[in-house]
Structure 1
């Protein structure tokens, strides 16, 4: 199994890479996976060349192939102007439109202030949803004051568990059979397109009731 980590940090060392490393470690506590880290700052020139020529240079092509072949993806960006960085967006602009389809993605970001904590929801989640990825319920944002705090460590651990759960044991894109925890189910429920997740049983997993059936039951009750 392969886990690919995309870090858009610009400095070395960077808090973006630090968060990426901690999310990787949290995921590997629950799944045995080979890890490949892609530092986008090392590919900035190649990404620009791809835009102007239409062809990826060798190093960028290898990075794009690695993302397409991954069983799970961790993507971390610093916040610029209340959104993801231009380098981060540019990389995902040149990726094949089908490369992330059905792939579990753990989205994360770093910033200087907690005021940008919703960047994972109003910028990162829509981006990966557009690319038809399976965006995990827990996204992680780390402000400067969060480092060393228990809350950040808990979010990292939770996100790592979720990614490990959604990475298929055989690498075939299927969701593992292990039942998700209640918090995960509650986060997924509002985004279900085919039914409402009404309960989680530790032995049987999700109970999904089609919306038409739920609506009919409500009408009978009225």
Structure 2
């Protein structure tokens, strides 16, 4: 079984850190699970133009195929202007309608405004559901105050929610 985490930001580290913690929690539950972190700033994912996937650059092709080959997915995004990042939305636009059918698709968001915890439910979840992903009841929103100056999570409640999400994702998959 393979879990791919996608850090959907082109700047900053908070989303990457949270996704890393989710993947680490998955490995703590089951060491046989393979994990991979895709940080979108490490790839040149092209803007969607409506062409077949084979027409895009190698990075775009590789990222889309790595995600489609995973058994479980966890998507993370910072909240910008009360929505997901443009980089993550662009990535989603590369997938066909049934791309996540049979896959558990977890959600992680980070942001500076408490009310932005709703973005997971009202922006990200509809996209994952449209792509036929199975969305766990748990998701993780991490307020910027939950990080120290080195972007490490210092809030124990956040770490508990991360473990809860990892547990639910694995349970749903099994």
Residue equivalent to 1:141: 141
Unmatched 5+ stretches in structure 1: 168-175, 177-222
| 1:154 paired to 2:167 | no
| 1:96 paired to 2:96 | yes
Following TM superposition, by how much is the alpha carbon of 1:23 offset from its aligned partner in structure 2, in angstroms? 0.8
Runs of 4+ in 1 over 6 A off after TM superposition: none
Q: Is the 8 A contact 1:9 1:15 kept in 2?
A: no
| 1:165 paired to 2:171 | yes
Q: Is the 8 A contact 2:2 2:72 kept in 1?
A: yes
Is 50-59 or 113-122 further displaced after alignment?
A: 50-59
Taking the aligned partners of 1:15 and 1:46, their CA distance within structure 2 comes to 20
Residue equivalent to 1:197: none
Taking the aligned partners of 1:52 and 1:97, their CA distance within structure 2 comes to 14
RMSD: 1.6
Matches within 5 A, 1:194-213: none
Q: Is the 8 A contact 1:113 1:145 kept in 2?
A: no
Taking the aligned partners of 2:124 and 2:51, their CA distance within structure 1 comes to 27
Tell me the TM-score normalized by structure 2: 0.87
Taking the aligned partners of 1:102 and 1:47, their CA distance within structure 2 comes to 26
Matched residues, number: 165
Taking the aligned partners of 2:113 and 2:77, their CA distance within structure 1 comes to 14
Taking the aligned partners of 1:149 and 1:70, their CA distance within structure 2 comes to 30
Taking the aligned partners of 2:87 and 2:77, their CA distance within structure 1 comes to 9
Provide the secondary structure at the position in 2 that maps to 1:108.
strand
CA deviations over 1:108-160 (Å, ceiling 9, x no partner): 11111212111111111111111110001101000111331222111111001
Q: Is the 8 A contact 1:108 1:140 kept in 2?
A: yes
Matches within 5 A, 1:118-133: 118-133=118-133
Taking the aligned partners of 1:166 and 1:117, their CA distance within structure 2 comes to 23
Matches within 5 A, 1:161-200: 161-167=167-173, 176=174
Provide the secondary structure at the position in 2 that maps to 1:84.
coil
Q: Is the 8 A contact 1:104 1:166 kept in 2?
A: yes
Unmatched 5+ stretches in structure 2: 148-153
Residue equivalent to 2:11: 11
